[in-house]
Amino acid sequence: MSLLSEIYKTLGFTYRNFMITKRNFFTIFETLFWPVLGLISVGLMSIYLDLEERYFAFILVGAITLSILQVSQLDVAYVLLFDIWSKSLKYTLVSPISGWNMILGSWLFGIARGLIAFFILFLSSKAIFNVSLLISFPELILFLFGVFLSAKIIGIITCSLLLIFGYRAEIFAWTLSAIFMLICGIYYPVSLLPEAIRVISYSIPLTHFLEYYRSFFGFETSFPDPLATGYFLSFAEISLLFLFYLWALDRARKRGTITQFSE
Amino acid sequence: MIYKSLRSEKVALKGVNLKIPKGKIYGLLGPNGAGKTTLISIMATLLKQTRGKVEVLGFDSIKEAREIRKRINIASGNPNLIWSLTVYENLRYYAMLYGIRDRSVVERLIDTFELREFRDVEFNRLSTGNKQKLILARAFVNDPELVFLDEPTKGLDPPVAKRLREKILEMQKDLGISIVLTTHYMSEAEMMCERVAFINRGEIVAEGTKKELKGLLKMRDKITIETDSEIPHQISLPDGVYMMERDGKSLSFYVDDAEKRLWEIASEVAKFGRIKNIAVKEVDLEDIFNELAK
């Protein structure tokens, strides 16, 4: 098993997602139209409510994070969805690839799409609302990478559910990120949430990454080091969820789900 | 011995025991739902057997599945690949999944399978024949030692099917690979396979070369006699007749030796009606299949 060969297998999924996105108007829409529309509507609402600039930034951070999370996690889910829709899953899974090749390759393209969405929204918030969300470059990168890890978490959950529940689970590709954002404090601090839900919020890395970014605009964080907490939780959860994904894949091979998806 | 139970079906495979020879085309024949695709899917590591052991190219299908996947490939008669990718992009994507960096492999396959003029055409815009060619080209992208072809000519026009069969034979000969082929077309199996196994209701009911199978069933020839009137059911069959089929005024007798039995059979039939035509032919796979599928 040469490293170069493994890299190439991983990039196979990046290449496929790129080629499909390039040709698919719908996926371009996902990257540009909905995120910008969301930002403008939330921005206008903030102007109407006459929010202070730091609260305005708080809201916009939520809107932007939701968009990049949604765009990036979709690419991870697409690694199975494109094959399921085309009924070609067996041709992908008969090749000597690992679960990591699939998740990592599609996630890389998700990062690229997420970065494009971020820069468009970042520039739009400055141009349209004159709100700068700029923080120092390394801190911005650390925040973004954290959000991309959260996208990977959601993507792995969606892929696992697809293998377990079949076509019915594709709805999760469009709903899970919104549910995550709701729990993680999209437009409000998580301290507002009922205590039982707050416990769940703290177990989700995205909560800490959002608090980390918002801390640069003067907001308090729930934990002393939200970045370290977020990264620790991300790596722990990705490891566990990846095992869950491998179990779901193995279960699909036992139950004949892969061949059913290809008929 | 392989066993497979699926939730949607009762029992897909019941104690299948097969040895597939290297470097040959091996046919898996059987009626719909017999378990052919299930067996191929298990050998291709897409499905795990409930019980039993499967070795493919010397590797265990469960413990060493990845080693098997490096060395095998599969193509089925349902031509499904990523719709919005072109011929080139589809092949390049699958080549990448095998860690193949050399793009000339893709270009060579495009030429070999006569897809050059469709190189940049999206999969969903290809004709069924060209889609099937691409599916087959994909199956050779990793230079496999063993290819599973699951009804590769299903639903194709006869000339396209013929061309594809020739291409498969050519590739098998040139590369010296092993092919496991399932098909509903007995003529296809007869033309391509050196050995065949008949599966029915999840069990192998017979296995061997065409000659061996004929020996197994003891019927070598088929005598068809057409008469001017329907022959009554009480016709007595002489020794050496293993089966008789009726189709209106036509009777078919499956016999051990047509030369020995023809006179006796014709005399018996002539008692009930005037013989218009007699045809004698060697029993083919279709006849054997029909008998085994009963």
Are the beta carbons of A91 and B74 separated by less than 8 Å? yes
- Name the residue with higher pLDDT: B269 or A160: A160
Identify the CATH homologous superfamily for domain B2-208: P-loop containing nucleotide triphosphate hydrolases (3.40.50.300)
Chain A: give the shortest CA distance to residue B213, in Å. Answer: 31
Taking only the tens place, the pLDDT of each residue in B211-257 is 787 777 677 788 899 988 887 777 778 788 887 888 888 888 888 88
Interface test with A, best of B96, B98, B125 (most A CBs within 10 A): B96
Note the pLDDT of residue B7.
Answer: 54
Among candidates B48, B70, B80 on the partner chain, residue whose Cβ is nearest the Cβ of A253: B48
The answer on pLDDT for A182 being more than 70 is yes
Chain A: give the shortest CA distance to residue B286, in Å. Answer: 27
Structure tokens belonging to residue A156: 């792995």
Sheet holding B221-227, edge to edge: B241-247, B250-255, B221-227, B275-282
Chain A: give the shortest CA distance to residue B75, in Å. Answer: 8
Note the pLDDT of residue B248.
Answer: 82
Type of residue found at B28? L
What phi-psi label fits residue A87: left (phi over 0), alpha (psi between -120 and 50 degrees) or beta?
A: left
What is the three-class DSSP state of B111? helix
Q: So what CATH class is B218-292?
A: alpha beta
Note the pLDDT of residue A262.
Answer: 80
Interface of A with B (CB under 8 A): 2, 4-6, 8-9, 11-12, 15-16, 19-20, 23-24, 82-83, 85-88, 90-98, 101, 250, 253-256, 258-260, 262-263
What lies within 8 Å, CB to CB, of A55 at 6+ separation is: A46
Note the pLDDT of residue A153.
Answer: 97
Chain B residues lying within 8 Å of A250, measured CB to CB: 48
- For residue B193, list its beta bridge partners: none
What does chain A look like in DSSP terms, one character per residue? --HHHHHHHHHHHHHHHHHHHHH-HHHHHHHHHHHHHHHHHHHHHHHHTT--HHHHHHHHHHHHHHHHHHHHHHHHHHHHHHHHHHT-HHHHHTSS--HHHHHHHHHHHHHHHHHHHHHHHHHHHHHHH-------HHHHHHHHHHHHHHHHHHHHHHHHHHHHHGGGGGGHHHHHHHHHHHHHTSSS-GGGS-HHHHHHHHHSHHHHHHHHHHHTTT---SSS-HHHHHHHHHHHHHHHHHHHHHHHHHHHHHHTHHHHHT-
Are the beta carbons of B80 and A16 separated by less than 8 Å? no
- Name the residue with higher pLDDT: A198 or B233: A198
Question: What distance in Å separates the CA atoms of residue A177 and residue A192, rounded to the nearest whole number?
Answer: 20
The answer on pLDDT for A126 being more than 90 is yes
Question: What distance in Å separates the CA atoms of residue A221 and residue A197, rounded to the nearest whole number?
Answer: 17
Among candidates A87, A90, A95 on the partner chain, residue whose Cβ is nearest the Cβ of B97: A95
Question: What distance in Å separates the CA atoms of residue A129 and residue A43, rounded to the nearest whole number?
Answer: 7
The answer on pLDDT for A187 being more than 70 is yes
Note the pLDDT of residue B184.
Answer: 79
- Name the residue with higher pLDDT: A198 or B212: A198
Give the Cβ contact number of residue A53 at 10 Å: 13
Are the beta carbons of A258 and B48 separated by less than 8 Å? no
Nearest CA in chain B to A24: B84
CATH 3.30.70 domain span(s) along chain B:
218-292
Chain B residues lying within 8 Å of A85, measured CB to CB: 83
Question: What distance in Å separates the CA atoms of residue B285 and residue B288, rounded to the nearest whole number?
Answer: 5
Percent of chain A, pLDDT > 90?
Answer: 84
Are the beta carbons of A87 and B78 separated by less than 8 Å? yes
| Structure ipTM | 0.92
Closest CA to B87 of B58, B41, B130, B128: B130
- pLDDT tens string, chain B, 294 residues long: the values are 666 665 554 556 776 777 888 889 999 988 888 788 889 999 999 999 888 888 999 999 999 999 999 999 999 988 899 999 999 999 999 999 999 989 999 999 999 999 999 999 999 999 999 999 999 999 999 999 999 999 998 888 888 899 999 999 999 999 999 999 998 788 888 889 999 998 888 888 888 887 787 777 677 788 899 988 887 777 778 788 887 888 888 888 888 888 888 888 888 888 888 888 898 888 777 777 777 766
Chain A residues lying within 8 Å of B82, measured CB to CB: 16, 20, 82-83, 86, 88
Taking only the tens place, the pLDDT of each residue in A4-61 is 999 999 999 999 999 999 888 877 777 888 899 999 999 999 999 999 999 999 999 9
Note the pLDDT of residue A87.
Answer: 94
CATH 3.40.50.300 domain span(s) along chain B:
2-208
DSSP one-letter code for B237: P
CB A212 within 8 A of CB A221: yes
The reported pTM is 0.86
Note the pLDDT of residue B52.
Answer: 85
CB B255 within 8 A of CB B285: no
Question: What distance in Å separates the CA atoms of residue B255 and residue B278, rounded to the nearest whole number?
Answer: 14
Residue ranges of B 222-281 with Cβ closer than 8 A to chain A: none
Note the pLDDT of residue A152.
Answer: 97
Lowest mean pLDDT among A210-219, A237-246, B77-86, B186-195: B186-195
**Judging by beta carbons within 10 Å of its beta carbon (0-12, 13-18, 19+), is residue A223 exposed, middle or buried?**
middle
